[in-house]
Amino acid sequence: MPRMSKGLPIKQRIPGVNKVILVASGKGGVGKSTVSVNLAASLNSLGKKVGILDADIFGPSIPKLLNLNGEPRLTDQGKLFPLSNYGIESMSMGYLVPPENAIVWRGLMVMKALQQLLFEVQWSNLDYLVIDMPPGTGDTQLTISQQLKVDGSIIVSTPQDIALIDAIKGIHMFEKVNIPILGLVQNMSFFCCPNCGHESHIFGSDGVLKEAKRKNFEVLGSIPLNEEICLQSDSGKPIVIANPQSPASLAYINIAKTI
């Protein structure tokens, strides 16, 4: 547990990690976990050593997205060894407790689990740790933003107004606690018909781009609504690994280059 100074927790670095990048969203279902794994895979393809920390205690998705399960082994000091696939290290509550058990947890237990995930994992000298945040602005976000030295955050939103409003709330929270915001990722920005090539803006057009411009935020990139992203995620192989040359993969890789 980090020490306190003048009532404020001291922000700590995660042992064995060079840069910590948060991937956050205002609401669930906008593709935040999918962006997290594909960014991790992209950074890996750019020659970086990468890990993912799944900070969603109640709804961990990283085990499925990386096709991993099983209990982590422990070091002699009782730290958790990450589980790895596709060259990406990962740690998730999903490896430690079946999700149906965690769901009945209350505040203190959740915070204790989070401390363990944050500070007691034996990462092996990573260039980047991508933290897949739970949606919204709850206790986990507050704990992470108060206790952890974070190098940058990425906010994922769809162009829909409601997702965007929630995303902006998340941005304000990060600004208040001095977490650098790298920029916004617009996910499911348009659908390109595989038959005729027509682009449909299913969730509205360019909502994120306009809002970002208005508020002076950087837009790191736009990811199309793409069936292959969904299918590959469901099969436990991120599209950037399964099909690195596809336009959707290149969109993720281009975002990773800006980090």
Count residues contacting ligand ADP (CB under 6 A)? Answer: 17
Alpha-carbon distance 29 to 18, whole Å? 29
Interacting residue with ligand ADP among 110, 233, 256, 259 (CB under 6 A): 233
Residue owning tokens 């962006």: 35
204 binds ligand ADP (CB under 6 A): no
* Residue 122: both structure tokens together: 């034996």
Interacting residue with ligand ADP among 109, 142, 162, 230 (CB under 6 A): 230
Strand partners, 85: 88
Position 197: which residue type? G
* Residue 227: both structure tokens together: 């069936």
* Residue 156: both structure tokens together: 């994922």
**Per-residue mark of binding to ligand ADP, 17-56 (x: CB under 6 A):** --------x--xxxxxxx----------------------
- The least CB distance from residue 223 to ligand ADP, in Å, is 5
* Residue 12: both structure tokens together: 């700590």
Say if CB 57 and CB 166 are below 8 A apart: no
- The least CB distance from residue 33 to ligand ADP, in Å, is 3
Interacting residue with ligand ADP among 90, 140, 145, 226 (CB under 6 A): 226
Interacting residue with ligand ADP among 42, 44, 45, 61 (CB under 6 A): 61
Q: Kindly report the backbone phi and psi dihedral angles of residue 15, in degrees, each rounded to the nearest multiple of 5, phi listed first.
A: -60, 135
- Size of the chain in residues: 259
Residue owning tokens 């005729």: 196
* Residues in 174-203 at the binding interface with ligand ADP, rule: CB under 6 A: 187-188
- The least CB distance from residue 163 to ligand ADP, in Å, is 9
Residues that bind ligand ADP (CB under 6 A): 25, 28-34, 61, 187-188, 223, 225-226, 229-230, 233
